[in-house]
Structure 1
Amino acid sequence: MKKVNIYFNRWFSVAFHYMNLIRNNEDGIPVQIFATHPDIRHMSLQGADVAGTEPALEGIEYVEFCVDFCRRNEIDIFIPRLHMLDIALHASLFDAIGTKVLVCRDLDLMEMIMDKGKFYESVKATGIMTIPDYHVVSNAAQFKEAYEDLLSKGHKVCFKPTETEGGLGFRIIDNDRSPLEELFGHVTPLISFDEAYRILSGAESFPNLMVMELLEGYEYSIDCLADEKGNLLAAVPRRKAGGRLRLMEHIPELEEVARRVAETYRIPFNFNVQMKYSGEVPKLLEINPRMSGGLHISCLSGINFPYLAVKSALGGEVQPAEFAHNVLASHVEQPLIMKINGESVVTDAVN
Structure 2
Amino acid sequence: MKKNARIWFNRWFSVAYHYMNHIKNNSDGLEVELYGTHPDPKHMSLQACNHVEVEPQLDGYEYVEFCLDFCRRHQIDVFVPRLNMFHIAKHIALFEEIGTRVIVCQDVDLLEKLMDKDLFYQSVKPTGIMVVPDYHIVRNANQFKEAYEDLVNKGHKVCFKPTNLEGGLGFRIIDNERNELQDMFGAINKYLSFEEAYRILSGVEEFNDLMVMELLDGFEFSIDCLSDPAGKLLAAVPRRKAGGRLRSMENIPELLDIAQKVADTYKIPYIFNVQMKYKDGVPKLLEINPRMSGGLHVTCLTGINFPYLAVKMALGGHVELQNPQYDIIGSHVEMPMLMKDFHLKNKVLMHENL
User: TM-score scaled by structure 1?
Assistant: 0.96
In structure 1, distance between residues paired with 2:159 and 2:233: 32
What is the aligned partner in structure 2 of residue 57 from structure 1? Answer: 58
What is the aligned partner in structure 1 of residue 18 from structure 2? Answer: 17
5+ residue gaps, structure 1, are: none
CA deviation profile, 1:109-129 (whole Å, cap 9, x unmatched): 000000001101111111101
User: TM-score scaled by structure 2?
Assistant: 0.95
Secondary structure, aligned partner of 1:182: helix
The answer to whether residue 123 in structure 2 is matched with residue 118 in structure 1 is no
Percent of residue pairs bearing the same amino acid type:
64
Tell me the matched-pair count. 346
Secondary structure, aligned partner of 1:165: coil
Structure 1 residue 153 displacement after superposition:
1.0
What is the aligned partner in structure 1 of residue 352 from structure 2? Answer: none
What is the aligned partner in structure 1 of residue 286 from structure 2? Answer: 285
Moved over 4 A (4+): 345-348
In structure 2, distance between residues paired with 1:118 and 1:180: 39
CA contact (8 A) 2:6 2:77 kept: yes
What is the aligned partner in structure 2 of residue 239 from structure 1? Answer: 240
Matched AA of 2:174:
I
CA deviation profile, 1:221-252 (whole Å, cap 9, x unmatched): 00001111111010000000000000001000
Task: Indicate how the Cα distance of structure 1 residues 197 and 325 shifts in structure 2: closer, same or farther if over 3 A, else same.
Answer: closer
Mean Cα displacement is larger for which, 58-67 or 283-292? 58-67
Computed over aligned residues only, the root mean square deviation of the Cα atoms, in angstroms, reads 1.5
What is the aligned partner in structure 2 of residue 87 from structure 1? Answer: 88
Matched AA of 1:102:
I
CA contact (8 A) 1:77 1:100 kept: yes
The answer to whether residue 169 in structure 2 is matched with residue 205 in structure 1 is no
What is the aligned partner in structure 2 of residue 294 from structure 1? Answer: 295
Secondary structure, aligned partner of 1:211: strand
What is the aligned partner in structure 1 of residue 75 from structure 2? Answer: 74
Mean Cα displacement is larger for which, 57-66 or 199-208? 199-208
What is the aligned partner in structure 1 of residue 160 from structure 2? Answer: 159
Structure 1 residue 325 displacement after superposition:
3.4
Structure 1 residue 63 displacement after superposition:
1.1
CA deviation profile, 1:238-279 (whole Å, cap 9, x unmatched): 000000000001000000000000011111110000000002
What is the aligned partner in structure 2 of residue 108 from structure 1? Answer: 109
Secondary structure, aligned partner of 2:235: strand
The answer to whether residue 216 in structure 2 is matched with residue 251 in structure 1 is no
Secondary structure, aligned partner of 2:53: strand
CA contact (8 A) 1:158 1:171 kept: yes
CA deviation profile, 1:85-114 (whole Å, cap 9, x unmatched): 111111122112110011111111000000
Secondary structure, aligned partner of 2:200: helix
Secondary structure, aligned partner of 1:223: strand
Secondary structure, aligned partner of 2:89: helix
CA contact (8 A) 1:50 1:347 kept: no
Matched AA of 2:266:
Y
5+ residue gaps, structure 2, are: 347-354
In structure 2, distance between residues paired with 1:199 and 1:185: 21
CA contact (8 A) 1:51 1:347 kept: no
The answer to whether residue 284 in structure 2 is matched with residue 306 in structure 1 is no
Secondary structure, aligned partner of 1:212: strand
What is the aligned partner in structure 2 of residue 270 from structure 1? Answer: 271
